[in-house]
Structure 1
Amino acid sequence: MIFANIHYLFLLILLIPYIMWYILKQRKNEASLQVSDTRVYAHAPKSYKIYLLHAPFILRVIAFVMLVLILARPQTTNSWKNTETEGIDIMLDIDISSTMLAEDLKPNRLEAAKEVATEFINGRPNDNIGLTLFAAESFTQCPLTVDHAVLLNLFQNIKCGLIEDGTAIGMGIANAVTRLKDSKAKSKVIILLTDGSNNKGEISPLTAAEIAKSFGIRVYTIGVGTNGMAPYPYPTAAGVQYINMPVEFDESTLSQIASTTDGKYFRATSTSKLKEVYQEIDKLEKTKLNVKAFSKRQENYQPFALILLLCILSEILLRNSVLKKIP
């Protein structure tokens, strides 16, 4: 048995002054009767009440001990066991340039990417996962964390237009590398998703790939978009108009990035294909870790609560029946 709030056990120290006070009080309040000779009482029968005289005090002490034990939250565990779990450090690196609003993936490229990435995160509860975004610049939306509820909440705030428009793939990779380079994990991964070619930033994509390689980081690149033309919403004075734009991105560079870092390049031409890509990455990135953990933990306060209740009821019953004092 263990205690979740073990510091509450220090309250038992309070019993020491209480017991001392009770002993001193009994000595002062003890009734006395002066007689010339006590031999006549030597063989007088003793009432059973004498043996119950200190019972209320003992019951109060036991009740206090039980209360402290309940506050300390006693718990039982089934056993320790060695288990194997899978965990790596992953940075999601997502393009938020304006072209990600194209609707060749439904409802658009960015929303499809968010939806599929959310499923990917939910399927990897043991991983440290972070999020970087890039357009003409790059910033970290969420550092590496195992608190996936926070990460998924931040995912809801991703939208185009947060920073200057453009596609700085090299800056996106470099930013993700800074979040992973000091990681102690055996496996470090960047999943880069973009729909364009590099046209902004001070760091070229291939230079960023070499930096990632030097830190033992694999980069999986995903080129998202259909072949040919894609409908793109364009705001006008008359409302949103759709124009068809050619789907153009540098597959050669994305392939080189993946090849340089021992990663892999994928092409996602639809939402279903994008899901398949993440599923493939999920299969590729599995690291076994040995973990020693409790199999189960249960609260075990019920016996102590029952003893506490019986002590209180017994003390009240004794004081108001056989040990009742008449003024």
Structure 2
Amino acid sequence: MSGLEFAAPAAFALLLVAPLVALLARRRPAPLSVPSTAALEPLRPTRRLRLARALPALRVLAVALLVIALAGPRRGDARTIIPGEGIDIVLSLDLSSSMLQRFGDSNRLEVTKEVAREFVRSRQDDRVGIVVFQQDALPLAPPSADYAALDRMIADLESGILPDGTGIGVGLAAALSMLQESTAASRVVILITDGEHNAPSIGPREAAALAAALKVRVYTIGIVSNDPFQRSREIDEQLLRDIAADTGGRYFAATGPGELRQVYEEISSLERSRITRESFEAFDEYGPWFAAAAAGILAVDLLLRGTLLRRLPA
């Protein structure tokens, strides 16, 4: 559960009315002139008189409770965040031979694996699945919270376990197949590639249309060269942008290991903020309880003034 909050805190300005209510409630008719009150001094106020003098406090309390009700006290219901069911993420990793090109101090595949392992190890309540692709796709692990096993699996990945090529469409489709039955609040595919789709399989745009129909967001990451000319020949960035845009995700270009780490961190932040907003859409509203209490107090006040304390000044 979240902390108590108020939907309309500006309503508390109405508390300035409470003292005015107290003054009006205590207003008395003009006193009568008598020669002397010495004979009345030994007399103690009766219970009825003392009760009548307390009536203004009831009205002030009722006004205060009504103001609190108008402010909308509520508590967010976060019970929708269940460990292991907050976000289901599938990493779809390109293992084609082009991923063996130099990238920083290592090659693209090794850096991709290293950063993906860091991403997995940093998860808490999310489940992560793994798909790898070249010309074909191979689902390795469905979404799981066994981060140690996922870490070992990513560490052992090598290029060449499938026929060479870049099947972006089939890599995305295999990831979607893993998420089709997921009931997680947020379902995400992170697809990483450094090339153009060139496999005789399902097309990337058809796979993106399927992702949109399933309401799965796809974040695409392009491992690209610093050389603009070489970059344009190696990878179809417009395709990756379109896949992300069609599914509500984003495209990121990484020219080095540092940028790739930043991309993963940004995706993690985007999804965490999204799931946090969604999980607090339901609230326990307390305003009606305060309003009911105020109505009850006013009813008691009116009842007392109309019966037991009818002839006594408050």
**TM-score for both structures, normalised by structure 1:** 0.57
Q: C-alpha distance in 2, partners of 1:216/1:90?
A: 13
Which structure has the larger Rg over C-alpha atoms?
Answer: 1
Q: Counterparts in 2 of 1:1-327, with a 5 A limit?
A: 87-228=86-227, 248-286=234-272, 287-288=275-276
**Unaligned regions of 5+ residues in structure 2, if any?**
1-78, 281-314
Which secondary structure does the structure 2 equivalent of 1:91 belong to? strand
AA aligned opposite 1:275: R
AA aligned opposite 1:142: A
Deviation at 1:226, TM superposition (A): 1.7
AA aligned opposite 2:207: A
Which secondary structure does the structure 2 equivalent of 1:117 belong to? helix
Q: C-alpha distance in 1, partners of 2:166/2:81?
A: 40
Deviation at 1:229, TM superposition (A): 8.6
Alpha-carbon RMSD = 2.4
The aligned length equals 197
In 2 relative to 1, CA 183–105 (structure 1 residues): closer, same or farther, beyond 3 Å? same
Q: Is the 8 A contact 1:105 1:225 kept in 2?
A: no
In 2 relative to 1, CA 183–170 (structure 1 residues): closer, same or farther, beyond 3 Å? same
1:154-176 C-alpha deviation (Å, 9 max, x unpaired): 11220101111000000000000
Q: C-alpha distance in 2, partners of 1:202/1:263?
A: 23
Q: Is the 8 A contact 1:189 1:218 kept in 2?
A: yes
AA aligned opposite 2:246: T
Q: C-alpha distance in 2, partners of 1:206/1:125?
A: 32
**Unaligned regions of 5+ residues in structure 1, if any?**
1-81, 231-243, 291-327
Q: Is the 8 A contact 1:222 1:266 kept in 2?
A: yes
AA aligned opposite 1:157: D
**TM-score for both structures, normalised by structure 2:** 0.59
Q: C-alpha distance in 2, partners of 1:246/1:159?
A: 26
Deviation at 1:122, TM superposition (A): 1.3
AA aligned opposite 2:116: A
Deviation at 1:139, TM superposition (A): 0.7
Q: Is the 8 A contact 1:92 1:190 kept in 2?
A: yes
Identity of aligned residues (%): 41
1:266-325 C-alpha deviation (Å, 9 max, x unpaired): 0000000000100110110112469xxxxxxxxxxxxxxxxxxxxxxxxxxxxxxxxxxx
Q: Is the 8 A contact 1:228 1:247 kept in 2?
A: no
1:174-217 C-alpha deviation (Å, 9 max, x unpaired): 00000001100121000000000000032110110000111110
